[in-house]
Amino acid sequence: MSTEKEVREPTEKQQDFSADVSRLLKIVTHALYTNHDVFLRELISNSADACDRLRYDSIANPELIKDNPDFRICTYNDTTARTLTVVDNGIGMSKDELADNLGTIAKSGTAALMEQMEQINGDKDKLKLIGQFGVGFYASFMIADKIQVVSRKAGTASNETWLWESNGHDGFTIRKASKLEMARLDGKRGTAITLSIKDDASEFLLDQKIEMTVKEYSDHISVPIFLGAPSIIAQDKDAKPINSTVALWMRSNKDVTKEEYEAFYKNISGGFDEQIMTSHWKAEGTIEFSALLFAPTLRPWDLFDPSRRNFVKLYVRRVFITDNLETLMYPWLRFMRGIIDSEDLPLNISRESLQHNPTIEKIRSAVARHILSDLDKLSRNDPAAYATFWGQFGPALKEGLYDATEHRPALLKVCRFYSTNDEGKSLTSLADYVERMKDSQNKIYYLSGESLENIKNSPQLEGFKSRNIEVLFFTDTIDDFWLQSILDYKDIPFQSITKGDVDFDALDGKTNNQENTDNTDDGKDGKENNIDSNISSLITKMQELLKDNVHNVRQSKRLTDSPVCLVAPDSGVDMYMERVLRLHQKYDSGTKPVLEINSDHVLIKRMAELNAKDEDIKDATMLLLDQAKIIQGEPIDNPGNFAQRMSDFMNRAL
C-alpha cells in the first residue's frame, strides 16, 4: 500500500481554500478542541450520509448499486505508512464536488461567524461558538498533517476517480487518481479518506482505539462499520461490524440509555452542547411514524438567519429521504434536531412532491403537539432547565404564536415572561400571572421595550407597583408582532401600560384596604374631579409649548415618583411597538405621544406656581419632554439643545 510507483498524472495547480475554510482551519489546527476523537465521528457521519443518499437515489435508479448492493463503511490503519483510512461505498464525489464540498463552506452566514470568532479572545467562548457551527470534515486536520480523499461518484466511469489532497494550510490539489489510489475504494464508487497521522496522535493507529471511538460515538449508525480494508471484509463471510447498526429511533424509548441518546445527539448535531430535552416516541393511528427529536442547550449561531434551514431528517421505513424538507417542521421549531421516520409515505416519493404532501402536514402538526407537550412537562419537572431553554429558544418559539393558530393554546402554555412579580428576576407563566391577579383586575398588563434593564425602572410602572399590580415585561421584538393577533389569554385581554389611560379607579375600587394607596388615591380622585386650577393652566401652557411634539398633556394617574412620562394615545399603537414598526419600515404613523405629568411631584407643583410667562416654564417643559424620552430609550430630537438648556438651568440654579 505504501509503495506507489506508478507514474502520476501531472499534479494540478494548487487551489486555495475559500477564506472561510482557511480561517476555520486555523482555529481547528490550533488545537482548539480538547477532544480529538470527534474527527472520526465526523468522517463516519459523512460516510453514512453518503450511503443514505445513494440508497435513496438507487430507488429510482437501481443500476447505481447493482454491483455492490450492501452499503458499508470500512476503517483500517497502516502503521508503517502511519495512515488511517475511512472508506465508504456511498454516493462519492465528482471533481467539482470535491472542490466545492472540501474547499468551501456552503453554510450560510459562515463569513459572519468567522469574523465573530476572530473577535473572541477566550478559547472557551470560541469553542462554544465553533461547536455550534460544527467543523465536520476539517476536524481531521487536528490529528492529520496530510489528508487524501479518493472519490468516485456512483454511476461514473473509472477515469472519473479523483484525488483531493491537502496539508490543511496551503490550499488543496485535485488530480486524477492512479490505479493504486483507486484501489483504496470499496468497489466502483464511494470515497476513501486517508489521514497521515500526526506524531502526537499515534493512538489512532491502534485498532482498539478506533474500535472504542466508533463504539462511543457511532454505535447506532445504521450502516455497518467494519474494522479492516474493504477487499478483506468483502471476502470474509464472518466479518462482523463493530457498531450495533440498529436504528436507535426504532427501539423502544425504555431500552435506550441516556448515554446512547447523548451520543446520537452529538452525531447528528456535530455539536459540543448536550441536548436539553429528548423526545422519542412512536405515533400510531391515522398516521404512523417514529420520531427522535432533541432540543439543544445552546442556541445555534444562525437561529435568526433567514436562510437557516430545517435540520430534522426525514426517513421512510428506515431509508433516509432528505434533511432539507422545509415543511417537515414549523419554522418556530427550527432549532430542533433529530429524525422522523414515516411508515406511510411511499419510498419512491420525489423530494419535490414532499413539500406540500398532506402526510407531511399531518406529521408536522403531530410533532409540534408532542414537542409542546414535552416542553410543558419539562417546565414543570425541571424549571431551571426550562428557563435555560426559554432563554435560548423562547423568541423563536413565540413566532408560532402568530404563525400557527392551531397550536396557540399549547404555545401560550409554555411561554414565559419576566414581570414585576420578582422585579424581573424570574420567569412566570401566563397561568401563574392570572393566578396572582387582583380581584378587581380584568386585564393582563404588560410593558414592552428593548431590554429588561431598560424597562424595569420605567416611570410608567410606578402606579402599578404601588398598587401591587403585576406587569409583564415583553422584551423580544417578536412580542409586538404576536400581540397584534393575540388579544387575550383565556379571554383576559392584554393591555399595554404605555398605551391610553389605565382605569386605576376601577382597579382601586375593590382594593380599598391598602392603606397608603388609599390615601394617595383619594387625593387623586379629588383632584381628578376638581382639578387644581394652577395645574390645569400649567397643562394648557405646556400643551401650547409642545403642540408640535405631543398629542396632548394630561394629569397622570400612573406616576408616583417621576414628574413625567410618555404614553401612546388611546387609539394609537403601543409606543415601543411603534418604534419597532418604524425600524422595520413598515410604519410611519407619526402618531404623537401623550405627555403625562405627575401633579404630586414637587417639580410639577413648583412649575404650576410660576407665572405662566416665566421663561423657566418653557425650558423645564422642554427638558422634561427630553427626559421622558431618554428614560424610555427613545432618541431625543436635538441633543445639542437639550445640553444647552440643561447647562443654562444648572447655571441659574447654582
Q: Which does 401 bind (CB under 5 to 8 A by kind): Mg ion, ligand ADP, none?
A: none
Instruction: Give the separation between CA 88 and CA 92, rounded to whole angstroms.
Output: 8
29 C-beta neighbours (distance < 10 Å), count: 19
Q: Measured from the CB of residue 137, what is the shortest distance to Mg ion in angstroms?
A: 6
| Cα-based distances in Å from 644 to 364, 512, 513, 613, 638 | 60, 46, 48, 21, 10
| Number of residues near Mg ion (by CB under 5 A) | 2
Name the 3-class secondary structure at 556: coil
Instruction: Give the separation between CA 537 and CA 533, rounded to whole angstroms.
Output: 6
Of 129-137, 346-354, 497-505, 554-562: span binding ligand ADP (CB under 6 A): 129-137
The number of CA neighbours under 13 Å toward the Cβ of 460 is 31
Instruction: Give the separation between CA 45 and CA 52, rounded to whole angstroms.
Output: 10
Instruction: Give the separation between CA 305 and CA 552, rounded to whole angstroms.
Output: 41
Q: Measured from the CB of residue 274, what is the shortest distance to Mg ion in angstroms?
A: 19
Looking at beta carbons only, is 50 or 177 nearer to ligand ADP? 50
Q: Which residue is nearest to ligand ADP (CB)?
A: 136
Does 230 interact with Mg ion (rule: CB under 5 A)?
no
Single out the residue of 23, 33, 46, 135 in contact with Mg ion (rule: CB under 5 A).
Answer: 46
Name the 3-class secondary structure at 271: coil
Does 75 interact with ligand ADP (rule: CB under 6 A)?
no
Q: Three-state SS across 431-452?
A: HHHHHHCCCCCCCEEEEECCCH
Single out the residue of 17, 27, 47, 298 in contact with ligand ADP (rule: CB under 6 A).
Answer: 47
Single out the residue of 65, 91, 483, 567 in contact with ligand ADP (rule: CB under 6 A).
Answer: 91
Q: Measured from the CB of residue 102, what is the shortest distance to ligand ADP in angstroms?
A: 6
Q: Measured from the CB of residue 42, what is the shortest distance to Mg ion in angstroms?
A: 5
| Number of residues near ligand ADP (by CB under 6 A) | 14
Instruction: Give the separation between CA 475 and CA 478, rounded to whole angstroms.
Output: 8
Does 42 interact with ligand ADP (rule: CB under 6 A)?
yes
Does 269 interact with ligand ADP (rule: CB under 6 A)?
no
Instruction: Give the separation between CA 482 and CA 490, rounded to whole angstroms.
Output: 16
Does 444 interact with ligand ADP (rule: CB under 6 A)?
no
Does 147 interact with ligand ADP (rule: CB under 6 A)?
no
One-letter amino acid identity for 454?
Answer: N
Looking at beta carbons only, is 157 or 602 nearer to ligand ADP? 157
Does 632 interact with ligand ADP (rule: CB under 6 A)?
no
Q: Three-state SS across 578-619?
A: HHHHHHCCCCCCCCCCEEEECCCCHHHHHHHHCCCCCHHHHH
Q: Measured from the CB of residue 221, what is the shortest distance to ligand ADP in angstroms?
A: 13
Q: Which does 459 bind (CB under 5 to 8 A by kind): ligand ADP, Mg ion, none?
A: none
Does 568 interact with ligand ADP (rule: CB under 6 A)?
no
Burial of 607 (0-12, 13-18, 19+ CB in 10 A): buried
One-letter amino acid identity for 569?
Answer: P
Instruction: Give the separation between CA 51 and CA 46, rounded to whole angstroms.
Output: 9
Looking at beta carbons only, is 146 or 601 nearer to ligand ADP? 146
Looking at beta carbons only, is 134 or 569 nearer to ligand ADP? 134
Single out the residue of 74, 93, 276, 360 in contact with ligand ADP (rule: CB under 6 A).
Answer: 93
Angle at 189 between CA 183 and CA 190, to 5 degrees: 90
Instruction: Give the separation between CA 317 and CA 71, rounded to whole angstroms.
Output: 17
Looking at beta carbons only, is 167 or 442 nearer to ligand ADP? 167
Of 42-50, 489-497, 550-558, 639-647: span binding ligand ADP (CB under 6 A): 42-50
Does 300 interact with ligand ADP (rule: CB under 6 A)?
no
User: By the 8 A CB rule, do 493 and 444 touch?
Assistant: yes
Looking at beta carbons only, is 42 or 186 nearer to ligand ADP? 42
Instruction: Give the separation between CA 292 and CA 355, rounded to whole angstroms.
Output: 21
Does 191 interact with ligand ADP (rule: CB under 6 A)?
yes
Query: Which residues lie across from 296 on neighbouring strands?
Result: 275
Q: Which does 88 bind (CB under 5 to 8 A by kind): Mg ion, ligand ADP, none?
A: ligand ADP
Instruction: Give the separation between CA 417 and CA 489, rounded to whole angstroms.
Output: 14
Instruction: Give the separation between CA 92 and CA 467, rounded to whole angstroms.
Output: 70
Of 20-28, 130-138, 356-364, 453-461: span binding Mg ion (CB under 5 A): 130-138
Does 136 interact with ligand ADP (rule: CB under 6 A)?
yes
Q: Measured from the CB of residue 386, what is the shortest distance to ligand ADP in angstroms?
A: 29
Q: Measured from the CB of residue 333, what is the shortest distance to ligand ADP in angstroms?
A: 20
Of 130-138, 317-325, 378-386, 540-548: span binding ligand ADP (CB under 6 A): 130-138
Q: What is the DSSP letter of 13?
A: P
Instruction: Give the separation between CA 27 and CA 9, rounded to whole angstroms.
Output: 33
Looking at beta carbons only, is 134 or 171 nearer to ligand ADP? 134
Binding site for ligand ADP (CB under 6 A): 42, 46-47, 50, 88, 90-91, 93, 101-102, 134, 136-137, 191
Binding site for Mg ion (CB under 5 A): 46, 136
